[in-house]
Structure 1
Amino acid sequence: MADDTLWDMKPHTAMKHAILRRYLQGFYPKLSRWHDRIMVVDGFAGPGVYKGGEDGSPIVALDALEEHSDFANMGDCSFTFLFVEERKDRVDVLQGILDERGVVANVEPRVCHGTFESHVLGALAELRRQPGMPAFFMLDPFGVKGLPLRVLREIAEFPKAELLVSYMYQSTNRFRATPELQPHLDDFFGMREWRQAEQYKGDERKDFLRDLYERRLGSIGMEYVRMFEMRDELNQPEYFLAFATHSPHGLRVMEDSMWKADQSRGAEFSDFAAPSPLQGVLFPPEPDYANLETLLVGHFRGRRNVPIHEVNDFVLKRTDFRETHGRTALKKAAEESRVTVDRPLDKAPNYWGEGTTVTFLPPE
């Protein structure tokens, strides 16, 4: 085994896997009720294990299914896993782990030796034969090579396809002026606009590139895109998890997963600030409801009788907050007479369903 076949797991990787696991635990049972086949593709699978024995993303994805409390009720659905890995030494380790796990009747894991670009054609062919099949693509490259936007555009053509992409910002920032890397960045963004990042510095450059990639994922036809920042042990931005989906339900489930990772903003995790497992938390952080109220008032200022579903849509699609956070922010604002909430006469004071409207009072 080569010295770099396995490597150490960092805290942000463990958190990424926690986000992935929580999402898939909602993804599998929901979609297996309505579909007889689901595909999961890990395009940069690695060896399936870290130096310390921790599970890699292929095993996380399999365990989220096979250890699910409702797995026994998913027998009518078959699950195909495509684990793509370019390095043969890592392929061998992963295949060995899968062989030891044994066979599960409705679960088919396949290890594919080669690049994601070479094997995605087969996955796309299967989706064309079953265009309504749900497919979840985990794409976690070491840099930006081998992940062109044109391939993601093909995936996005399928209505039940979803993407979880690691956009390696640190690599982009460090090597952006390297002539050998620039064509790969052109492919990654699907355009040359990323080069305008040179006019910015620090966080402004980071925000420019993050927002650009978010827009590019939207441009391929993904209606909902959510970004989550991962920082290293020096608290420097390392990469962004970019989730893209056609489904508002999928977005809700991913937002729930991300908010469990960051209970104050739902937007980032840092190895630098990661607490020790032995350290207790006396006062769990809570969302910045004042900021959310500012966003809501800024968008709906002066509007009367706004249907609650319109408020929920804004919170879900235009902010990093969850819809439940929106209701909490509105409750606080109503208590202090900054908004009024009207509910159907036969509903309880804590009802926030259909028929509820909100009036955003103008400032005095």
Structure 2
Amino acid sequence: MANAFFDEQRDQSLVKAAIVSKYFDAWSRVMIANANRLPISRLAYIDLFAGPGRYKDGSKSTPLMVLERAIAEPELASRLVAMFNDADPENVASLAESLQKIDGIDKLRVAPKVLCTEVGIDATTMFQNTQGCPTFSFIDPFGYKGLSRGIIQSVIREWGCDCVFFFNYSRINAGINNDSVRHHMDALFGRERIARMRAHLQNANPVEREAFILEELAQALQEMGATYMLPFRFRRPDGSRTSHALVFVTKHPLGYSIMKGIMAGESSTEDQGVPSFEYSPADARCPLLFSLNRPLDTLSGSLMDKFAGRTLSMKAIFDAHNVGTPFIERNYKQVLNQLESEGKIVANPPADRRPSRNGERTFADKTLATFPQKAG
């Protein structure tokens, strides 16, 4: 069966490819910038369910986008070790042909490796050629087969190793109570955790189920050393429920910050400038559903509470608060400016000594904010 990545609605597939390729671009730049200090002689990209190389309409998929980025950057071309895998022989043949047709493919010092292997619960042997070097991995299985904690742990094992995986929420949600796929659920969540989840979910409504399942996934990943996790949801065509998600996993706050910016940019809606971190085909048809929650009001109150009696820079506030929230850097700057204008905080330098941009006062990373003590 061909990878579902290539059978989905085209715009959703392109959003997935954009998120992965943009992060690879940013990640590789960070790794190369650190190459002389560490040093780093190799960088690896692994795609365990790579597909045929192109979408059905002929547009480029992630493997081609990643390699074209590497070819365009000589320092990356000299370091990249790329490995692509798919269990479907037709996909593998098509992918190999597509890779050979890329202009400048011979500029890569190491030719990309294409494998035809069924990914099992323990796929660590597939990563032998990338051991000891920073690795970015993309795991995009059909459903839940081939996705396990062991695989994710293998691909984030060392410094500079980040991962994006496809989480088919619809199928996993249905599989949690399906005894015929119990071993797949055990592999993903752990036997004890999935048993607790089954009991908890018996009376949960759809919204509660989604939040609970993603939270349990986050906790399972943290137990393996994955400090930071970011999900990007994809809604069903009618916008009603989440169908699947892309989940990013990293151990470094810089990787989290970079991916948060990328996912924010790919979000299909914003509320008061706060990105939704989801893509919904129905958003354009339902404009009145948004800007109702006023999330910046929530952010204002949270900052006043968390940092009461303290003086911190904007950058320190952002770093200490943003993880696990939908807020991005510009949201913090907007709220801090608003709090200052309302007299609720004191900024140094004050607004009249800070430059303006597009008619608004800036709030630079080093600008200090002093929060009052809590009343009472």
Do the aligned residues in 1 keep the contact of 2:70 with 2:76 (CA within 8 Å)? Answer: no
Deviation string 1:30-77 (CA, Å, 9 cap, x unpaired) is 21231221101111111112221122222232233335xxx14545x4
Match of 2:265, SS state, is helix
Q: Counterpart in 1 of 2:94?
A: 93
Give the deviation of 1:331 after TM superposition: 0.9
Q: 1:210 to 1:5 in 2, by over 3 A?
A: closer
Q: Counterpart in 1 of 2:319?
A: 313
Query: Within 2, Cα distance between the matches of 1:108 and 1:208?
Result: 43
Q: 1:141 to 1:6 in 2, by over 3 A?
A: closer
Q: Counterpart in 1 of 2:139?
A: 139
- For 1:61, which of 54, 57, 66 is the aligned residue? 66
1:105 aligns with 2:112: no
1:295 aligns with 2:295: no
Do the aligned residues in 2 keep the contact of 1:340 with 1:361 (CA within 8 Å)? Answer: no
Do the aligned residues in 2 keep the contact of 1:84 with 1:119 (CA within 8 Å)? Answer: no
1:356 aligns with 2:368: yes
Do the aligned residues in 1 keep the contact of 2:23 with 2:259 (CA within 8 Å)? Answer: yes
Q: Counterpart in 1 of 2:237?
A: 233
Query: Within 2, Cα distance between the matches of 1:272 and 1:119?
Result: 39
Query: Within 2, Cα distance between the matches of 1:360 and 1:335?
Result: 15
Do the aligned residues in 2 keep the contact of 1:175 with 1:181 (CA within 8 Å)? Answer: yes
Q: Counterpart in 2 of 1:51?
A: 56
Match of 2:165, SS state, is strand
Query: Within 2, Cα distance between the matches of 1:6 and 1:311?
Result: 41
Q: 1:309 to 1:256 in 2, by over 3 A?
A: closer
Deviation string 1:276-327 (CA, Å, 9 cap, x unpaired) is xxxxx9xx98x94333223323433x33324544412133323122233212
Do the aligned residues in 2 keep the contact of 1:9 with 1:50 (CA within 8 Å)? Answer: no
Deviation string 1:141-199 (CA, Å, 9 cap, x unpaired) is 11112111022223332121101011111101233322111221111112323323233
Query: Within 2, Cα distance between the matches of 1:44 and 1:126?
Result: 17
Give the deviation of 1:110 after TM superposition: 1.2
Match of 2:159, SS state, is coil
Deviates more, 1:25-34 or 1:218-227: 25-34
Match of 1:312, SS state, is helix
- For 2:118, which of 92, 115, 118 is the aligned residue? 115
Do the aligned residues in 1 keep the contact of 2:347 with 2:367 (CA within 8 Å)? Answer: no
Give the deviation of 1:342 after TM superposition: 3.0
Do the aligned residues in 1 keep the contact of 2:305 with 2:374 (CA within 8 Å)? Answer: no
Do the aligned residues in 1 keep the contact of 2:121 with 2:151 (CA within 8 Å)? Answer: no
Do the aligned residues in 2 keep the contact of 1:341 with 1:359 (CA within 8 Å)? Answer: no
Q: Counterpart in 2 of 1:215?
A: 219
1:334 aligns with 2:344: no
Query: Within 2, Cα distance between the matches of 1:234 and 1:316?
Result: 30
Query: Within 1, Cα distance between the matches of 2:326 and 2:251?
Result: 17
Q: 1:8 to 1:152 in 2, by over 3 A?
A: closer
Give the deviation of 1:22 after TM superposition: 1.9
Corresponding residue pairs, total: 347
1:124 aligns with 2:122: no
Do the aligned residues in 1 keep the contact of 2:175 with 2:185 (CA within 8 Å)? Answer: no
Query: Within 1, Cα distance between the matches of 2:46 and 2:89?
Result: 18
Q: Counterpart in 2 of 1:270?
A: 280
Give the deviation of 1:254 after TM superposition: 0.6
Match of 2:234, SS state, is strand
1:205 aligns with 2:193: no
Query: Within 2, Cα distance between the matches of 1:31 and 1:2?
Result: 33
* Identical-residue share of aligned pairs (%): 21
Do the aligned residues in 2 keep the contact of 1:80 with 1:108 (CA within 8 Å)? Answer: yes
Q: Counterpart in 2 of 1:278?
A: none
Q: 1:2 to 1:331 in 2, by over 3 A?
A: closer
Q: Which runs of 5+ in 2 are unaligned?
A: 356-361
